C-alpha cells in the first residue's frame, strides 16, 4: 500500500520539527528515513502512524493508497508500528503479546481461539522463536524482544510497517544479523515498510530507497546508489559517509590546492577513498601533508594526515596500494584528489 504525505508541518513549542514535508512512498518498498537526531524523522513516522498530530493546514494531508486518513484513529489506520524500545507488554508472555492485537477485536471481526493460536504460532515460527512462546519479555535477549515486537505488529495484518530505530538498542553483531534477517523477511512478505535510522550504513545496506532528512526538511530522496554517488548538497554528502573538505581555486580549468590561496576560493568535497597519496607531485595537482596515523586492521588501510595548516585529512586505500609505497608515520606525501564534488551553495562542515 502506498503512502503519501502532503505539506506536513509540526512544531513543538518554538521548535519546528517538520517544515512543510512532502513525500511519496510506493507500494512494496523498504524505505529508510535517515537523518541526525532532531531532524524530524521520528516525528514524521509518528505522524504517519497517527500517534502525533500535525499543524492544521488546508493543504496538509496524509493518504494511504490515495485515500486520506486524516481524522482516523490510530486503531483504524491498521499500521504496524515497532517502537524503539519495543514497548512489549511485560506482564504478557510472548504468545499473548503477539496475540494481543487479535484478541482485542470485537464484533464481526473477532477471531476464534484456534484461528488466533494458528496465526500466532505461524508468526513465532516466522521470527524463529519456536518454543519460546511461554517466556516473558524480561526473559528474552534484546534481539529476541525486537523480533517479538515485529511479530506483534505483523499479527494485525497491517497495511504497512513503520519501524522507529529498529536496531538502535542492540549491540553491533546482533544488529548486523537482524538487519539481514529483516531484509530477507521484507523480500518474502513484500510489505511496504518505513524505518527510521541515524546510521547511514544501515540505511544504505538495508533500504530500497533512502530519504535523507535534516532540520525538518527532506534533503534528498533516492536509491542508496543515487544518494551516495550523486548527493544533492553538502549535507547529504557529509552525512552519508566521511568526507574531506578542501579549499582551492580553479585556474584555467584546473584545480589548484596549493597554499596560500589567492582570489576566489571554492570548496571541494572528496571522499576518503577518492584520494591518491603519492611520494612526489610532478603535475602540481595536489598538496603536501604529513602522515599522522595508519590503521591497517580491517578490509582497507585508513590513513590520517595533516596539511600545513594542521587540518586533518582522511584517506582510505586498498592494502595492496598501501604496500606499494610503504608510507610510514611522519612521512610527508602529496595528497592528490581524484574526484572532487562542488556544490553551488556554500556549506561548511
Partner 1 sequence: MKKHSVLPGFGLTFGITLAYLSLIVLLPLSLIVLNTASMSFADFLKAIGSKQVIASYKLTFGASLLAATINGIFGFIVAWTLIRYKFPGKRIIDAIVDMPFAMPTAVSGIALTAICAKNGWVGSLLVPFGIKIAYTQLGVLVALIFIGLPFVVRTLQPTLEDLDKEVEEAAASLGATKFQTFWYVIVPSVLPALMTGFTLAFARALGEYGSVVFISGNLPMKTEITPLLIVMKLEQYDYAGATAIAMVMLIASFVLMFFINLSQWYARRFSN
CB nearer partner 1, residue 129 or residue 162: 162
Among 339, 299, 342, 340, CA closest to 321: 299
Per-residue binding string, partner 1, 287-326, x by CB under 8 A, is ----------------------------------------
Q: DSSP E strands: which ranges in the chain?
A: 3-12, 15-25, 30-34, 61-64, 67-68, 79-82, 160-164, 193-197, 209-214, 217-222, 244-251, 254-256, 266-270, 275-278, 287-295, 301-307, 312-317, 332-337
Specify the pairing of strand 301-307 against strand 332-337.
unpaired
Instruction: Give me 165's grid cell.
Output: 530505530
Q: How far, in Å, CA of 206 to CA of 209, rounded?
A: 9
CB nearer partner 1, residue 74 or residue 189: 74
- Of residues 148-207, which lie at the interface with partner 1 (CB under 8 A)? 152-153, 155-156
Q: Is 299 helix (H, G, I), strand (E, B) or coil?
A: coil
Backbone angles phi, psi at 208, to 5 degrees: -80, -35
CB nearer partner 1, residue 49 or residue 234: 49
With CB under 8 A as the contact rule, the residue among 78, 119, 183, 232 that binds partner 1 is 78
Instruction: Give me 263's grid cell.
Output: 582570489
Could you say whether residue 24 binds partner 1 (CB under 8 A)?
no
Give Cβ neighbours of residue 303 (< 8 Å, ≥ 6 apart): 277, 291, 293, 294, 295, 314, 315, 316, 317, 322, 327
Q: How far is the CB of 74 from partner 1 (least distance, A)?
A: 5
Specify the pairing of strand 61-64 against strand 67-68.
antiparallel
CB nearer partner 1, residue 94 or residue 313: 94
Could you say whether residue 75 binds partner 1 (CB under 8 A)?
yes
With CB under 8 A as the contact rule, the residue among 111, 136, 343, 347 that binds partner 1 is 136
Q: How far is the CB of 198 from partner 1 (least distance, A)?
A: 18
CB nearer partner 1, residue 151 or residue 301: 151
The one segment of 70-78, 120-128, 195-203, 232-240 that binds partner 1 by CB under 8 A: 70-78
With CB under 8 A as the contact rule, the residue among 18, 30, 79, 317 that binds partner 1 is 79
Q: How far, in Å, CA of 200 to CA of 41, rounded?
A: 13
With CB under 8 A as the contact rule, the residue among 68, 139, 265, 338 that binds partner 1 is 139
Sole residue written with cell 508541518: 9
CB nearer partner 1, residue 22 or residue 139: 139
Q: How far is the CB of 343 from partner 1 (least distance, A)?
A: 39
Query: Could you check whether the bond before residue 217 is cis, i.e. omega within 30 degrees of 0?
Result: no
Q: How far is the CB of 30 from partner 1 (least distance, A)?
A: 20
Could you say whether residue 120 binds partner 1 (CB under 8 A)?
no
Instruction: Give the distance between the most distant pair of CA atoms in the chain.
Output: 82
- Of residues 27-66, which lie at the interface with partner 1 (CB under 8 A)? 49, 51
With CB under 8 A as the contact rule, the residue among 67, 91, 190, 319 that binds partner 1 is 91
The number of CA neighbours under 13 Å toward the Cβ of 39 is 19
Q: How far is the CB of 18 from partner 1 (least distance, A)?
A: 19
The one segment of 68-76, 234-242, 314-322, 335-343 that binds partner 1 by CB under 8 A: 68-76
Asked if residues 41 and 196 have their Cβ atoms less than 8 Å apart, the reply is: yes
With CB under 8 A as the contact rule, the residue among 24, 89, 296, 312 that binds partner 1 is 89
Measure Cα distances from 146 to 2, 28, 214 in Å. Answer: 25, 22, 27
The one segment of 56-64, 80-88, 178-186, 320-328 that binds partner 1 by CB under 8 A: 80-88
Which residues would be at the binding site for partner 1 (CB under 8 A)? 49, 51, 73-75, 78-81, 83-85, 87-93, 100-101, 104-105, 136-139, 152-153, 155-156
Amino acid at each position: 500500500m502506498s503512502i503519501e504525505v502532503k505539506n506536513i508541518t509540526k512544531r513543538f513549542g518554538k521548535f519546528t520539527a517538520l517544515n512543510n514535508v512532502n513525500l511519496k512512498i510506493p507500494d512494496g518498498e523498504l524505505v529508510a528515513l535517515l537523518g541526525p537526531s532532531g531532524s524530524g524523522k521520528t516525528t514524521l513516522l509518528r505522524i504517519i502512524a497517527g500517534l502525533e498530530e500535525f499543524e492544521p493546514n488546508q493543504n496538509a494531508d496524509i493518504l494511504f493508497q490515495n485515500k486520506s486518513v486524516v481524522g482516523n484513529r490510530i486503531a483504524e489506520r491498521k499500521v504496524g508500528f515497532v517502537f524503539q524500545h519495543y514497548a512489549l507488554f511485560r506482564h504478557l508472555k510472548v504468545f499473548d503479546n503477539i496475540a494481543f492485537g487479535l484478541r482485542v477485536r470485537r464484533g464481526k471481526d473477532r477471531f476464534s481461539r484456534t484461528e488466533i493460536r494458528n496465526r500466532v504460532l505461524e508468526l513465532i515460527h516466522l521470527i524463529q522463536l519456536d518454543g519460546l512462546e511461554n517466556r516473558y519479555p524480561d526473559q528474552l535477549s534484546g534481539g529476541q524482544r525486537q523480533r517479538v515486537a515485529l511479530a506483534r505488529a505483523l499479527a494485525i495484518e497491517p497495511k504497512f510497517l513503520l519501524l522507529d530505530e529498529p536496531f538502535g538498542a542492540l549491540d553491533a553483531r546482533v544488529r548486523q544479523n537482524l538487519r539481514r534477517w529483516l531484509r530477507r523477511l521484507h523480500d518474502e512478505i513484500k510489505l511496504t515498510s518505513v524505518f527510521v535510522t541515524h546510521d547511514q550504513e544501515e540505511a544504505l545496506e538495508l533500504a530500497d530507497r533512502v530519504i535523507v532528512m535534516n532540520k525538518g526538511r527532506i534533503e534528498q530522496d533516492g536509491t542508496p546508489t543515487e544518494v551516495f554517488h550523486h548527493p544533492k548538497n553538502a549535507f547529504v554528502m557529509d552525512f552519508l559517509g566521511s568526507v574531506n573538505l578542501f579549499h582551492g581555486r580553479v585556474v584555467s580549468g584546473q584545480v589548484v590546492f596549493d597554499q596560500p590561496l589567492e582570489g576566489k576560493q571554492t570548496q571541494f568535497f572528496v571522499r576518503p577513498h577518492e584520494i591518491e597519496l603519492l611520494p612526489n607531485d610532478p603535475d602540481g595537482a595536489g598538496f603536501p601533508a604529513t602522515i599522522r596515523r595508519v590503521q591497517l586492521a580491517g578490509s582497507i588501510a585508513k590513513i590520517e594526515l595533516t596539511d600545513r595548516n594542521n587540518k586533518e585529512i582522511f584517506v582510505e586505500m586498498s592494502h595492496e596500494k598501501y604496500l606499494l609505497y610503504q608510507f610510514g608515520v611522519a612521512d610527508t606525501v602529496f595528497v592528490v584528489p581524484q574526484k572532487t564534488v562542488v556544490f553551488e551553495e556554500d556549506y561548511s562542515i
